[in-house]
Copies of this chain bind each other. A is one copy, B any other.
Amino acid sequence: METKKIPYKIYLEEKEMPREWYNVRADMKKKPAPILNPTTLKPVTEEELSSIFCEELARQELDDTTAYFPIPEEIRDFYKMYRPAPLVRAYCLEKKLGTPAHIYYKFEGNNTSGSHKLNSAIAQAYYAKKQGLKGVTTETGAGQWGTALSMACSYFDMDCQVYMVKCSYEQKPFRREVMRTYGAKVTPSPSMKTEVGRRINEEFPGTMGSLGCAISEAVEAATSQENYRYVLGSVLSQVLLHQSIIGLETKAALDKYHIKADVIIGCAGGGSNLGGLISPFVGEMLRGEADYKVIAVEPASCPSLTRGTYAYDFCDTGKVCPLAKMYTLGSSFMPSANHAGGLRYHGMSSVVSELYDQGLMEARSVEQTAVFEAAQTFAKVEGILPAPESSHAIKVAIDEALKCKETGEEKNIVFGLTGTGYFDMVAYGKFNDGEMKDYIPTDEDISKSIATLPKVN
């Protein structure tokens, strides 16, 4: 077959953009285990879910049989502002590595939120608006999700209340200001605005907060205000559904140039990017149409797939959200300092967990100094300063490309570049100063937190 010359960047045309999200669960013979009501420990119903989430999102969360969901026109219009995202042929990186492999990356960082999070934020804001809600609440750690949601709510003229982990609120004032510029109300958590916040402040005076605590405050804020709901940026199946846009565009761009991916690599925290990127490819595997080597990359400091256990666990440290069966280190696991804030999550999306358990992908954990070295190599030749999270995928893509150099194989390696590192310069500064350290939890650390798993299992 004659192949067209592949440009540095493959942009789909507007009319080639996906008009439907793909729900990989529909093609799974063995479905992910149902999520459970944290009080009754029974599979949660749509009605129960709808008290926390918007109705349409609750429906999407529980639907594991519908393969395609039409993307509403309003959302597609918003997507057109920053999508299609380019699929980039990393010619310069290939040359630098001297590899015969062809490296491609799907770049999701060309929007002000700086990451793929916007893909789901706009969907969640849209359904909230459509339901006639006044606003939504959420939590944010490093701030990517909060920023994305602020942008989405601003677009639909909705109130957006973000509980931001206090230490990030103070140490990352830039993301806070981006959110405020988009009109969001950003509250350092724990705050005195909620009951749970006041209680935690009283119990632990001077605490700098945690994601678990911020979730609890955001949920309380949603349920105690009329016409508000809570939204979440990762882990959930609805989020993976929205993020399938990443994989669908990637596949369409590859198909356009008759490229068959051999290896597909994504960084994995809660699983939103990885799940979205791999969904259409794994779908083909599930249907027996194609085969790919899929690799999930997680930080060695928070290795839920590589060292966790597959069991029901709480999705949040506050234990207010439904329980999910997932690869987990235990919701009480406290990941040691790692600059990839977006990957510091104790568990893994139940969809990704089940796919991993079925042997449809492998997982690797990498240490952060090696990740920042890969990030620097990439930045120097590809001109994009990557987010620490995304750089986990870069690291493994480089490893795979170097293997091809040894074997002489001309593999097509595709990875997800989820975002940019412009708000992560404190971490880069540490790396530049040679002060970055690697942290790996001991077996004892992990056993201890796994021992506190709920009794459902």
Contacts and interface: CB of A to CB of B under 8 A. Distances in A.
Given A381-B155, A422-B422, A9 B181 contact: no
Interface in A136-190: 151, 154-155, 173-174, 177-178, 180-183
A98 interface: no
A423 B425 CA distance: 10
Contacts of A91: 77
A105 interface: no
A183 B383 contact: no
Nearest to A384: B112
A110 interface: yes
Interface string A1-33: 000000111010110000000000000000000
Contacts of A154: 380
B151 A383 contact: yes
A333 interface: no
Nearest to A172: B425
Chain A interface main SS type: helix
A379 interface: yes
Interface residues of A, number: 46
Contacts of A82: 383
Nearest to A153: B380
B380 A428 contact: no
Contacts of A8: 14, 80-81
B429 A177 contact: yes
Nearest to A80: B8
B428 A178 contact: yes
A267 to B, nearest CB: 19
Interface in A375-394: 376, 379-385
Contacts of A447: none
Given A7-B14, A80-B7, A380 B429 contact: no
Contacts of A369: none
Contacts of A14: 7-9
Nearest to A427: B177
16 contacts: A7-B13, A8-B14, A9-B80, A11-B11, A81-B383, A111-B383, A112-B383, A112-B385, A155-B383, A174-B174, A177-B425, A177-B432, A178-B425, A183-B380, A422-B422, A422-B423
Interface of A: 7-9, 11, 13-14, 77-78, 80-82, 91-92, 110-112, 114, 118, 151, 154-155, 173-174, 177-178, 180-183, 376, 379-385, 420, 422-423, 425-426, 428-429, 431-432
Given A8-B81, A118-B383, A173-B425, 17 more contacts: A7-B13, A7-B80, A8-B14, A11-B11, A81-B383, A82-B383, A112-B384, A151-B380, A155-B381, A173-B429, A177-B429, A178-B385, A178-B425, A180-B428, A180-B429, A181-B385, A181-B428
